[in-house]
Structure 1
């Protein structure tokens, strides 16, 4: 659990003044964090592949247990899943363009680097990290790491703003390694990881091999789940 706790102030009258001085900065910081939780709005998470794709095609990467490789804000991401499409499909941001109440969403690139620990793009392509912010309130709601991206455009760099159909790159087939154990084009996929700024995001549970469309919601950020790898 990402901690959101209440500050305690001593009640003894003799210690009240000094207690307040010592705890005021902590109380203010924790109050601000609690307010951010309350202010955050839910944003839908969609397949990071334009057009049709497949959820956990081979039943080997359910979101309930799939390995989470990356971290944001000092925490391991909340959930992960593999979403499949043959090489050459356009990869896009998974974040919706509006919050649940209609606020516009800004998405910014925060990470661009080789996704595999070897640092070699041939082993698994790029990891592109994206941050979603409620444009009406300025509250950062969540992040997503989109992994195994091929043919990344030069414009996709840290600090760039992207829309829902901005091309981040393409699906690709990389050489077989401990980072990418794929034997054929049907195994090409994007490894998607998602995390809330506070509390926990969730995924939409579905059977392995389920077909997805552009408008299929696969998860949500801005939710208040009690732990990682939970269904919405």
Structure 2
């Protein structure tokens, strides 16, 4: 479950009515994360999953143009030497608050802590103007001390200085904002309605899963989009 703050003001961003063609980025990342890491071997894992939520505070849209379903969307980052399990683009116009996608408790109610493990420009050029920040987050079951999974949140704009490797973040800690970057092989977007966060998720062992839904489905703060800590047999599988 995701923890709601006692007092929280959410600025609801009205989605622009205009349409825009958005192509999947051809090469969003740099370095060894894009070099075809091996697939994970299936290993036993005690099932106490953590929900994954949209990394955008307030309303957002799942796979807005039907071009980035997690069943086939490119995965470009790696963790623990393995290519991430699944990815999806979640849309909101520039200026929306970006937050951690991890829930605050496991399915059994154990508390979850999240820390920052990666902060780097997301695109191969190393230029933030080409696609913003990649922020990697790690979720831990505090009852057992076990690391359960990680998420890479890509195309983050206006990252606060406090969001650095080693920082602990809560469900509503601001990681930055959605932004619109210049058109490039890393970010092929022609209008504000194409602004999105590229989300990638991975289990520590075995495989995480996504919750399937139709392209263009509206999401809210409490809409689960996937889970880590599951025991799926391979990548890009539905829960």
Find runs of 4+ consecutive structure 1 residues off by over 2 angstroms. Answer: 1-5
Q: Which residue of 2 aligns with 1:2?
A: 40
Any idea what the Cα deviations from partners look like across 1:58-85, whole Å, max 9, x if unmatched? 0000010000010000000000000000
1:195 partnered with 2:195: no
Does residue 131 (structure 1) correspond to residue 135 (structure 2)? The answer is no
Structure 2 distance, partners of 1:177, 1:104, is 41
Q: Following TM superposition, by how much is the alpha carbon of 1:161 offset from its aligned partner in structure 2, in angstroms?
A: 0.1
User: Which residue in 2 is equivalent to 1:163?
Assistant: 170
Q: Secondary structure at the match of 1:202?
A: strand
Q: What residue in structure 1 maps to residue 54 of structure 2?
A: 47
Aligned counterparts of 1:164 and 1:140: Cα–Cα separation in 2: 17
Question: Partner of 1:108 in structure 2?
Answer: 115
CA distance in 2, matches of 1:133, 1:117: 29
Higher alpha-carbon Rg: 1
| Residue in structure 2 matching 1:144, options 142, 151, 159 | 151
Distance in 2 separating the partners of 1:118 and 1:204: 32
Between Structure 1 and Structure 2, how many residues are aligned?
Answer: 201
CA contact (8 A) 2:42 2:233 kept: no
Q: What corresponds to 1:12 in structure 2?
A: none
- TM-score for both structures, normalised by structure 1: 0.85
| Bigger proportion of residues as helix | 1
Q: 1:57 aligns with which of 64, 71, 78?
A: 64
Q: Alpha-carbon deviations, 1:191-224, whole Å to 9, x = none?
A: 0000000000000000000000000000000000
Helix, strand or coil at the partner of 1:80: strand
- 1:4, distance to aligned residue in structure 2 (A): 5.2
Q: Which residue does 1:66 correspond to in 2?
A: 73
Query: TM-score scaled to structure 2, two decimals?
Result: 0.83
- Cα distance, 1:2 vs. partner? 2.5
